[in-house]
Amino acid sequence: MDINSLKAALDASPENVPLLLLVARAHLDTFELDEASLYLQQAIQIEPRNPQALLMMARLSSLAGNLSEAIVRIESLCELNPDYAEAWLLRASLCVSEGDGMTARTCYEKAVALNADLRNDKLLNDIIHAGGSSVSDAPASSQSAARQGSADTYDFENEDEDDSPSLDGVMARDLELDFQLRSDKTFEDVGGMEEVKEQVRMKIIYPLRNPQLFEKYGKKAGGGVLLYGPPGCGKTLMSLATAGEIQSTFLSVGLHQILNMYIGESESRLHEIFELARRHRPCVLFFDEIDALAADRRDMKQSSGRHLINQFLSEMDGAQAGNEGVLILGATNAPWHVDNAFLRPGRFDRIIFVPPPDEEARAQIASIHARNRPVVEFDPVAFARKCDGFSGADIQAVFDQATEEALTEAMKKGGELVPISGKRLIRAVRHLRPSTRKWFDSARNYALYANQDGLYDDILTYLKLNK
Ligand SMILES: Nc1ncnc2c1ncn2[C@@H]1O[C@H](COP(=O)(O)OP(=O)(O)O)[C@@H](O)[C@H]1O
Ligand SMILES: [Mg+2]
């Protein structure tokens, strides 16, 4: 049925919610977001809790580029309708956009458990690339399905699928599958960030390549590096690239997965993870959004926070076992929520500010994003000049928007290829605002009024607020 006959039907019965939703979906599918929103809102006025309408609302927010709004909507929908498989699936893909592979994986498994038809290899692959390997507490059936789906990403030392294996064996194997990350990103995919790249090379890549030389200087692989800075500037990407660069094990740990366990369990889980890293040395152990450990987070169950932090600290100190050969990499947008004890020397021994990309880095990032698209008449340097203050994610959004426009035109022209011109990209820049300003509004205050030991001097320098 085409959209005009749907609308004619709607004229006859304007309060027909299923019809309203059909029209809204037709508009969504052609990216006519304003129209879609109009019909959706009418539907929601009549049936405020209609799950399909709420799902489309979330999709609409995400298509309009409001990722965080989309996530809030989809989270509440999942809470309202925990059996709605499509909602979990959309949530999984939104989590991937947000870079939260672990949560994405949990949501994906839920969706597929509710409706096996929703299995989607491409999404699963994206989830794995975002750091979401298998979920240990998922039912065995979906585990093996997940393994099949990602066979090209994992190394399986142990491929037999025993139906009744010993519990310990399962735990050890799953822990490895859960956290081991293989990535096809390399430093080539990261624009700028030269200082971070150099730190990673010095702490893990070079020592592995030249062990004798490093030994002569009394240096070994390993240590701790914490990356902090505004969102969207490449911290998570940089870690994925590190995983791709090193020829050794890379373990990516979603703290949320640990935090949601019962008191006491999360500490022993954390210990197991560090032990796993030590067994696999040389190895990189990556904790994204490490501020999730902070005790004031509302999603932290009970008040077990302190215990977990202490456990983390003693693992970092390598108290019993020693962390030689283990590079602990952390990332956060909110270093002020990271417990002070982590920032003391000997734990994260390098704390690196990852600022928004400068002009040169912006040109590099633009070239990276232009690589696999039909981009023509494009001068990355001129482009970089026009997007001062943009994060890498903002630049990606510019490319996404221009791509969507060109694609829509291409569809209107019956499938003819419409290239993405430099002009079109610059026009898209004008429609977007740099997203990092808000972060600097609060960062400025921390740097000015809570700058213990000059921790945030880099922020002051960046903002030109130095004495
Ligand atoms: N330096 C960069 N080079 C290339 N792409 C970047 C860079 N920084 C950010 N991006 C783009 O923005 C997206 C989000 O960046 P991400 O690493 O998740 O930011 P952060 O972890 O700092 O919040 C990346 O997936 C990538 O597409
Ligand atoms: Mg990140």
The CA 241 to ligand 2 mean position distance, Å, reads: 13
Residue 89 in tokens: 């699936």
Q: Look at residue 148 and tell me whether its pLDDT is greater than 50.
A: no
The CA 114 to ligand 2 mean position distance, Å, reads: 29
Kindly state whether residues 398 and 343 are assigned to the same domain. Answer: no
Task: Enumerate the β-bridge partners of residue 285.
Answer: 251, 328
Residue 434 is classified by DSSP as -
Q: Look at residue 383 and tell me whether its pLDDT is greater than 80.
A: yes
User: Per 3-state DSSP, what percentage of the chain is helix, strand, and coil (rounded to 5)?
Assistant: 60, 5, 35
Kindly state whether residues 380 and 288 are assigned to the same domain. Answer: no
The CA 431 to ligand 1 mean position distance, Å, reads: 20
CA 165 – CA 244 distance, rounded (Å): 32
The CA 119 to ligand 1 mean position distance, Å, reads: 27
User: What is the CATH number for 399?
Assistant: 1.10.8.60
Q: Write the CA distances from 87 to 94, 114, 129, 130, integer angstroms.
A: 10, 11, 21, 20
Q: Look at residue 304 and tell me whether its pLDDT is greater than 80.
A: no
Last residue of a domain, one of 353, 382, 416: 353
- Ligand 1 binding pocket (C-beta < 6 A) is 99, 190-193, 231-237, 331, 357, 365, 368, 392-393, 396
Any idea which ligand is nearest the CA of 193? 1
The CA 233 to ligand 2 mean position distance, Å, reads: 8
- Asked if residue 211 belongs to a domain, the reply is yes
Nearest CA to ligand 1 atom 19: 232
Q: Write the CA distances from 166 to 163, 171, 173, 308, 417, integer angstroms.
A: 10, 9, 11, 28, 56
pLDDT digits (tens, 9 = 90+) for 7-37: 888 888 888 888 899 899 888 887 788 889 9
Kindly state whether residues 327 and 427 are assigned to the same domain. Answer: no
Kindly state whether residues 106 and 52 are assigned to the same domain. Answer: yes
Residue 85 in tokens: 């498989």
The CA 64 to ligand 1 mean position distance, Å, reads: 19
What is the distance of C-alpha 40 from the center of its chain?
29
What is the pLDDT, as a whole number, of residue 142? 37
Which range is least confidently modeled, 138-147, 335-344, 360-369? 138-147
Kindly state whether residues 394 and 327 are assigned to the same domain. Answer: no
Kindly state whether residues 256 and 346 are assigned to the same domain. Answer: yes
What is the pLDDT, as a whole number, of residue 457? 92
Q: Do the Cβ atoms of 198 and 401 come closer than 8 Å?
A: no
Counting from 1 in the atom list of ligand 1, the atom nearest the Cα of 193 is 1
Q: Look at residue 102 and tell me whether its pLDDT is greater than 60.
A: yes
CA 94 – CA 448 distance, rounded (Å): 35
- Asked if residue 312 belongs to a domain, the reply is yes
What is the pLDDT, as a whole number, of residue 349? 79
pLDDT digits (tens, 9 = 90+) for 219-257: 888 888 999 999 999 999 998 898 888 877 888 887 776
What is the pLDDT, as a whole number, of residue 303? 52
Q: Write the CA distances from 111 to 29, 85, 95, integer angstroms.
A: 22, 4, 14
Any idea which ligand is nearest the CA of 231? 1
What is the pLDDT, as a whole number, of residue 152? 34
**Three-state DSSP class for residue 378:** coil
pLDDT digits (tens, 9 = 90+) for 178-234: 677 778 889 999 999 998 899 889 988 898 888 889 889 988 888 889 999 999 999
Nearest CA to ligand 1 atom 16: 234
Counting from 1 in the atom list of ligand 1, the atom nearest the Cα of 333 is 23
Any idea which ligand is nearest the CA of 354? 1
User: What is the CATH number for 100?
Assistant: 1.25.40.10
Last residue of a domain, one of 326, 353, 380: 353
CB within 8 Å of 296: residues ≥ 6 apart: 337
Which range is least confidently modeled, 76-90, 134-148, 163-177, 384-398? 134-148
Domain count, the chain: 3
247-272 residues labelled b (16+ CB within 10 A) or e (exposed): ebbbbbbbbbbbbebeeeebbebbbe
Last residue of a domain, one of 338, 353, 368: 353
Kindly state whether residues 198 and 292 are assigned to the same domain. Answer: yes
Counting from 1 in the atom list of ligand 1, the atom nearest the Cα of 239 is 17
Which of 98, 290, 396, 399 for a ligand 1 pocket mutation test, highest count of atoms within 8 Å of Cβ? 396
Kindly state whether residues 367 and 347 are assigned to the same domain. Answer: no
Closest CA to 138 of 159, 162, 114: 114
Q: Quickly state the pLDDT bin for 139 (edges 50, 70, 90).
A: very low
The CA 22 to ligand 1 mean position distance, Å, reads: 36
Any idea which ligand is nearest the CA of 233? 1
Closest CA to 92 of 74, 80, 72, 114: 74
CB within 8 Å of 404: residues ≥ 6 apart: 31
Nearest CA to ligand 1 atom 13: 393
The CA 186 to ligand 2 mean position distance, Å, reads: 16
The CA 180 to ligand 2 mean position distance, Å, reads: 18
- Asked if residue 464 belongs to a domain, the reply is no
pLDDT digits (tens, 9 = 90+) for 292-302: 776 444 444 44
Integer-rounded Cα Rg, in Å, for the chain is 24
- Asked if residue 227 belongs to a domain, the reply is yes
pLDDT digits (tens, 9 = 90+) for 117-134: 898 888 998 898 888 876
Cα-based angle 179, 181, 182 (whole degrees, multiple of 5):
160
pLDDT digits (tens, 9 = 90+) for 154-175: 333 333 333 333 444 445 555 6
Kindly state whether residues 326 and 213 are assigned to the same domain. Answer: yes
Provide the residue count of the chain.
467
Any idea which ligand is nearest the CA of 287? 2
Neighbours of 363 (CB within 10 A): 22
What is the pLDDT, as a whole number, of residue 467? 58
Residue 419 has, within 13 A of its CA and on its CB side, a CA count of 9
Counting from 1 in the atom list of ligand 1, the atom nearest the Cα of 227 is 22
pLDDT digits (tens, 9 = 90+) for 256-293: 767 766 667 788 888 888 998 998 888 889 998 888 77
Which range is least confidently modeled, 175-179, 419-423, 447-451? 175-179
Long-range pairs of 271-275 with CB within 8 A, sequence gap ≥ 24: 271/311, 271/315, 272/171, 272/175, 273/175, 273/179, 274/315, 274/321, 274/323, 274/326, 275/321
Any idea which ligand is nearest the CA of 234? 1
Identity of residue 100: D
| Average pLDDT score over the chain | 83
CB within 8 Å of 228: residues ≥ 6 apart: 235, 331, 332, 333, 334, 335, 351, 352, 353, 354
What is the pLDDT, as a whole number, of residue 305? 64
Neighbours of 302 (CB within 10 A): 8
What is the pLDDT, as a whole number, of residue 177? 60
Kindly state whether residues 225 and 342 are assigned to the same domain. Answer: yes
Which of 233, 252, 352 for a ligand 1 pocket mutation test, highest count of atoms within 8 Å of Cβ? 233
Long-range pairs of 339-343 with CB within 8 A, sequence gap ≥ 24: 339/293, 339/294, 339/295, 339/309, 340/452, 341/309, 341/313, 342/226, 342/290, 342/312, 342/313, 342/316, 343/226, 343/455
- Asked if residue 315 belongs to a domain, the reply is yes
Kindly state whether residues 10 and 93 are assigned to the same domain. Answer: yes
The CA 55 to ligand 1 mean position distance, Å, reads: 27
How much is the pTM? 0.64
Domain of 427, in residue numbers: 359-431
Which of 102, 188, 237, 289 for a ligand 1 pocket mutation test, highest count of atoms within 8 Å of Cβ? 237
Kindly state whether residues 309 and 365 are assigned to the same domain. Answer: no
One-character DSSP codes across 322-363? --TTEEEEEEES-GGGS-GGGGSTTSS-EEEE-PSP-HHHHH
pLDDT digits (tens, 9 = 90+) for 55-100: 999 999 888 888 888 898 999 899 889 999 999 999 999 999 888 8
